[in-house]
Chain A
Amino acid sequence: MDFQPTEDQQHLRAGVRDLLAGRYGREALRASVDAAAGGGAGAAAGVDRALWRELGGAGFFALRLPESEGGVGLGLPEAVLVFEEAGRALVPGPLVATHLAAGVVPGAADGTAVVTAFDLDGPLVAHLGDADAVLGAAAVPAGEPVRSVDPLTPLHRVAAAGDVSAYRATGALLTAALQLGSALRTVELAVRYAGEREQFGQPIGAFQAVKHLCARMLVRAEVARTAVYAAAVTGGPGEVAAAKLLADEAAVQGARDCLQVHGGMGFTWEADVHLHLKRAWVRAEQWRTAAQAQELLAEELLAEALLAEELPATA
């Protein structure tokens, strides 16, 4: 047993981090936020098609497709490392749905198509206006735009519904990986700010109150990290649900704590913290909510407990 990422896996993650830092760094992120703001309050920016094709070219969507079908032939552990990096960089767009559509919807594998999914409870669909296809639906349905809390995740209200149950577990796991990346990034942002910002004649990171906020952020993120990686290795439904639950908490609470560490600056549009928080809120509603994850886990716990009762004690 060696749970740590292999050397190849570490290289893969580092490579994706470099690629995203060059192609979608902070300036690109803020440019797309400004573009969204240009459309009026609450407007949201669409998918950058050029970036989408570059991600496709780098194997982002075809990562788990067999090589015989033009894919990269890697597995879920590699996919979660790649999605962790996308979450860290706050790359917008229906990354998970398009990845799941590779090999199913033409153009998804190489990023020439943008594919979204009915992954939210209720009538809302993300990125519908940019979508060439909707996972699990025969055609792209008509939708009424609604004002989205996240400037980089446009939302539409639709009447149609689709069945994504076949994709739910993997969708939840990859979304958890995005949340993990965001959680780890907000720890970095908080620690950097706490080391720079001075009050009362010293960096605020020297105060225990601030230190303990940061330490708890890291603890949540590290527990979520092991949950996400373990779920990627085993694929167990309970472990996937736990990964989503813990990564949602790490991302949402991490962004809130990061905002708190930033003080008044954290409440401004200029700080990136709100972008992490708003995206974390969106992802927490995608594929599997906290209540759904907890119910699934409770069911698994009870089944296991009742089974253990039937077995002799020495088994």
Chain B
Amino acid sequence: MDLTYTEEEQDFRARLRGWLAKVLPELPAKPSPDDWPGRRAYDLGWQRRLHEAGYAGLHWPVDAGGRGATPTQHLIFLEETERAGAPYVGANFVGLLHAGPTIAAEGTAEQRARWLPPVLRGDEVWCQGFSEPGAGSDLASLRTRAVRDGDDYVITGSKIWTSHAEVADWCELLVRTRPVGAEVPKHRGISWLAMPMDAPGVTVRPLRTLAGSAEFAEMFLDEVRVPVANRVGAENDGWRVTMVTLSFERGTAFVGEVVACRRTLGELARAAKANGRWDDPVLRRRLGRLYGEFGALWRLTQWNVSEAGRSAGGVPGIGGSVFKLAYSHARQELYDTAAEVLGAASLSLDEEWVLDRLSSLSYTIAAGTSQIQQNIVAERILGLPKGR
């Protein structure tokens, strides 16, 4: 049980801090959330900066173009960039955290050479074509069909909740390549494809969220042709490939956000002190409790990271489900408490926290709902029987 950082790690942190202090003042102004091309340009501009400074794909293996950093270095990177207020991966999220690591782990030499460098350089954006209108939490029942025609797959179906679809160059697409039958379980007929978003037959329709913005989109696929060479992993083996992707998603997605939540809590304390709500012991104790809880959640990220550091390949384990369950609920509690601090002002969308409060509602749904995560914890960690 050691929470001290090695000299090497401290050195890494100091150099990163110095670099951030130098480059952040030079960044252009942040685009509005509705300006998708602007957001793409902003996020990729930041990625180029990271690439030039050697921080691109920090946790990717060296032979995939990354830096092969230890999980602890990656943690320091996420902590420091968030603390300094640097841009998050944004539009490059899927490429850097999902598709890239999946191609690095499962792709051929040609596939790695084609797709990985543009993600690291900040030239290409990926989106994730997993969920469908009839296959969200029950992902394996997806129905988008891919039929072999010579060297191509011909794809028909639709996807939903596709973040960044409007500005993406590529989509990591899950398709059914073998019909479900008596002898074929539904998760054994799925393949993982890299689909170019400008292929004929791809239609993207933005979806408005309850926060009023277009954060994600529906995607309609009408006889879209994708070369068989774009398949990562064997045909019908896409489910296993996907599990590789999801383990990356759950392991690292929220590290920077815990740091951000702790900062928000500090702002809330100052606001409550300024408007007199701090004198209400019930509210004050709620803030104290949240401070303790987010402190513990930060320690839990360190716990998971050091556990991943001990495991082969540094792949985050299913402990990520425990973290996501606790974190997503704490985050919603944080913004409900913020509304209590603000009082009636929390009804105005001009308050920055109010949009955050609305967006926090997605945390118990996205990347596996809390109910699905509880099933995962109960069945895979506690060993309870599968059933209804």
Contact = CB atoms under 8 A, between A and B. Distances in A.
Interface of A: 1-6, 9, 77, 187, 191, 194-195, 202-203, 205-208, 210-212, 214-216, 218-219, 222-224, 226-227, 229-230, 232-234, 238-239, 241-243, 245-246, 291, 293-302, 304-306, 308-309, 313-314
Interface in B243-287: 265-267, 269-270, 273, 278, 281, 284-287
Given A215-B374, A301-B288, A246 B2 contact: no
A233 B3 contact: yes
A234 B374 CA distance: 31
B266 A305 contact: yes
A9 to B, nearest CB: 7
A302 B278 contact: yes
A16 to B, nearest CB: 16
B382 A2 contact: no
Contact of A1 (B4, B286, B325): B4
Interface residues of B, number: 60
A246 B322 contact: no
A4 B300 CA distance: 11
A203 B374 contact: no
A211 B295 contact: no
Nearest to B263: A308
A3 B299 contact: yes
Could you say which of A77, A232, A238, A298 has the most chain B C-beta atoms within 10 Å of its C-beta? Answer: A298
Interface stretch (B104-112, B193-201, B305-313): B305-313
A302 to B, nearest CB: 5
**Interchain residue pairs A-B with the least CB separation, the first 9:** A206-B387, A242-B292, A298-B288, A297-B288, A305-B266, A211-B378, A294-B285, A215-B374, A227-B296
B32 interface: no
A196 B367 CA distance: 32
B306 A2 contact: yes
Contact of B382 (A6, A191, A299, A313): A191
Given A211-B374, A218-B377, A293-B292, A3 B285 contact: no
B388 interface: yes
Contacts of B343: none
A298 B384 contact: no
A313 B85 contact: yes
A231 to B, nearest CB: 9
Contacts of B375: 208, 211-212, 215
Given A1-B72, A297-B292, A216 B2 contact: no
Nearest to A236: B295
Given A206-B385, A212-B378, A214-B384, A223 B3 contact: no
A127 B3 CA distance: 37
Contacts of B265: 301, 305
28 contacts: A1-B306, A4-B310, A195-B384, A203-B384, A206-B387, A207-B387, A208-B388, A211-B374, A211-B379, A214-B382, A215-B373, A215-B377, A215-B382, A218-B382, A222-B319, A222-B322, A227-B299, A230-B302, A246-B292, A293-B292, A295-B288, A297-B288, A297-B289, A297-B291, A298-B291, A301-B265, A305-B265, A314-B84
A315 B250 CA distance: 31
B204 to A, nearest CB: 35
B299 A226 contact: yes
Contact of B1 (A232, A239, A241, A306): A232
B81 to A, nearest CB: 13
Nearest to B385: A206
A1 B3 contact: yes
Given A4-B306, A4-B307, A218 B381 contact: yes
A108 B278 CA distance: 44
A191 B269 contact: no
A223 B387 contact: no
A239 B385 contact: no
B374 A227 contact: no
A230 B266 CA distance: 21
Given A191-B383, A208-B371, A314-B84, A219 B1 contact: no
B269 A301 contact: yes
Contact of B2 (A2, A207, A215): A2
A223 B302 contact: no
B169 interface: no
Contacts of B9: 1
Nearest to B85: A313
Nearest to A210: B384
Nearest to A306: B270
A309 B270 CA distance: 9
B299 A212 contact: no
Contacts of A291: 285
B269 A223 contact: no
B303 A305 contact: no
A302 B273 contact: yes
Nearest to A297: B288
Contacts of B296: 223-224, 226-227, 230, 242-243, 246
B114 interface: no
A210 B384 CA distance: 10
Contacts of B4: 1
Contacts of A229: 1, 299, 303
A276 B319 CA distance: 26
Contacts of B382: 187, 191, 214-215, 218
A245 B72 contact: no
Contacts of B310: 2, 4
Contact of A245 (B292, B297, B300, B378): B292
A77 B385 contact: no
